[in-house]
Amino acid sequence: MADNSVFEGCLPALMTPCNAAREPDFDALAEKGWELVDGGMGGVVYCGSMGEWPLLTDVDRCRGVEALAGEDVPVVVGTGAQNTARAVELAEHAREAGAAGLMIIPRVLSRGTSPAAQRAHFAAVLRAGGDLPAVIYNSPYYG
């Protein structure tokens, strides 16, 4: 059974810090994650629905997850993607990297087109996450 305790308390969303060359600084990301947890947060959300994930490369998104999970920061990983196949890959990566949970949003390019398609999307991403606890993120603004 999944350990849902990561969803207790406050989970601030992290933005990826960058160095002077405007490249992601994953060491600083992990440090910020621990700073927040040490300050009383229950964990952090990375690449949440309103974060900068569309601006990161797929490689950098995964490196951020690895940096946080690799330092044992309790991280809930956003699986927002243009399509279900990519969201599934992100959920699988989060599970393999040691994330504490998933945040799942509807498919970005086809929100609200079909309730059956959205159910299939959520089911596929949840399956890919295995035993990771997950929250389906509802934003009335985005559908």
Domain count, the chain: 1
pLDDT tens-digit profile of 65-119? 999 999 999 999 999 888 899 999 999 999 999 999 999 988 766 655 678 888 9
Question: By mean pLDDT, which of 26-30, 40-44, 139-143 is the weakest?
Answer: 139-143
pLDDT interval class at 143 (50, 70, 90): low
CA distance 72 to 68: 6
Is residue 36 a part of any domain in this protein? yes
CA distance 137 to 55: 20
Mean pLDDT calculated for residue range 46-56: 82
Is residue 93 a part of any domain in this protein? yes
Kindly report the CATH number assigned to the domain that includes residue 57.
3.20.20.70
Is residue 75 a part of any domain in this protein? yes
Q: Could you give the 3-state DSSP secondary structure of residue 131?
A: coil
Is residue 4 a part of any domain in this protein? no
Is residue 6 a part of any domain in this protein? no
Is residue 142 a part of any domain in this protein? no
Is residue 143 a part of any domain in this protein? no
Q: Is the pLDDT of residue 131 over 80?
A: yes
Mean of all residue pLDDT scores within the chain: 90
Q: Is the pLDDT of residue 4 over 70?
A: yes
Q: Domain range for residue 106?
A: 11-136
Q: Is the pLDDT of residue 13 over 90?
A: yes
Is residue 1 a part of any domain in this protein? no
